[in-house]
């Protein structure tokens, strides 16, 4: 005789038939990039990811008809249309399975570049923004009313390490505009 209690079970060999289980196995329940073609890039080491952003930006700009030249020194990543360019990319941060802000890191105003290009990567697209170095530098080096450096990346906010980060969305920063305005 079959009881009501035995009718409502999921056996181990059946669990693979459930979409929610497949989502967990493939991290789709917590990673909005799980099914994205950008996932392998997101999973690269920081160094490889940075190099990918640089080469992708050069290829993208070359497809726009811009000229690409090798950098003159290690303070910038490329020369595009005769401008020394520093390239920063960020995937949107994922917190508890939800897409949050971007974080562009290792911004160093003391380095030799004229234009900064920001890549903003979502699961479905990559957007490119340009900025004038001075506008970025003026933004990240500001001190608040307590004398802190809110965008300082290393050593806490009470000191100025010379290396900064920006958290937010491109719409939050008026200096992030079309790359064609700067190149």
113 is a domain residue: yes
> For 93-105, how does the pLDDT look when each residue is reduced to its tens digit (9 = 90+)?
988 878 999 999 9
Polymer length in residues for the chain: 183
Lowest mean pLDDT among 28-32, 40-44, 155-159, 178-182: 28-32
CATH number of the CATH domain containing 139: 3.40.1350
18 is a domain residue: no
pLDDT at 147 over 80: yes
Average pLDDT, integer, range 158-170: 95
4 is a domain residue: no
Average pLDDT value for the chain: 92
Asked if 21 and 29 count as a contact pair (C-beta separation under 8 A), the reply is: no
Flag whether the pTM goes above 0.75. yes
68 is a domain residue: yes
- Domains of the chain: total: 1
Instruction: Tell me what pLDDT residue 91 has.
Output: 97
3-state secondary structure of 30: coil
Q: Which domain holds residue 151?
A: 45-181
pLDDT at 7 over 80: no
> For 57-87, how does the pLDDT look when each residue is reduced to its tens digit (9 = 90+)?
999 999 999 999 999 999 999 999 999 999 9
pLDDT at 46 over 60: yes
CA-to-CA separations, 104 to 62, 72, 91, 101, 119, in angstroms, rounded:
23, 23, 9, 10, 9
142 is a domain residue: yes
Phi, psi at 156, each rounded to 5°: 85, 175
What is the spatial distance between Cα 139 and Cα 144, in angstroms, rounded to a whole number? Answer: 11
Tokens of 45: 């080491």
pLDDT band per the 50, 70, 90 thresholds, residue 140? very high
81 is a domain residue: yes
pLDDT band per the 50, 70, 90 thresholds, residue 47? very high
118, 141, 71, 60: CA torsion to nearest 10: 10
Q: Which helix (H) or strand (E) covers residue 89, if one does?
A: strand 83-91
Helix, strand, coil shares of the chain, percent, nearest 5, are 30, 25, 45
33 is a domain residue: no
Helix intervals (H) in 14-143: 19-25, 39-42, 46-63, 133-140
The DSSP secondary-structure symbol of 60 reads: H
34 is a domain residue: no
Instruction: Tell me what pLDDT residue 116 has.
Output: 98
């Amino acid at each position: 005789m079959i009881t009501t209690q035995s009718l409502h079970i999921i056996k181990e060999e059946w669990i693979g038939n459930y979409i929610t289980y497949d989502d967990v196995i493939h991290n789709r329940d917590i990673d909005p990039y799980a099914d994205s073609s950008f996932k392998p890039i997101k999973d690269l080491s920081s160094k490889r990811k940075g190099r990918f952003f640089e080469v992708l930006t050069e290829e993208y700009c070359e497809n726009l008809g811009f000229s690409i030249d090798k950098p003159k020194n290690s303070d910038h990543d490329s020369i595009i249309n005769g401008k020394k360019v520093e390239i920063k990319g960020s995937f949107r941060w994922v917190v508890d399975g939800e897409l949050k802000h971007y974080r562009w890191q290792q911004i160093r105003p003391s380095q030799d570049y004229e234009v900064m290009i920001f890549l903003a990567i979502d699961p479905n697209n990559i957007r490119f923004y340009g900025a004038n170095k001075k506008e970025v530098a003026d933004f990240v080096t500001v001190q608040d009313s307590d004398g802190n450096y809110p965008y300082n990346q290393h050593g806490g906010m009470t000191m100025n390490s010379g290396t900064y980060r920006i958290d937010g969305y491109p719409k939050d920063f008026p200096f992030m505009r079309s790359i064609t305005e700067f190149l």
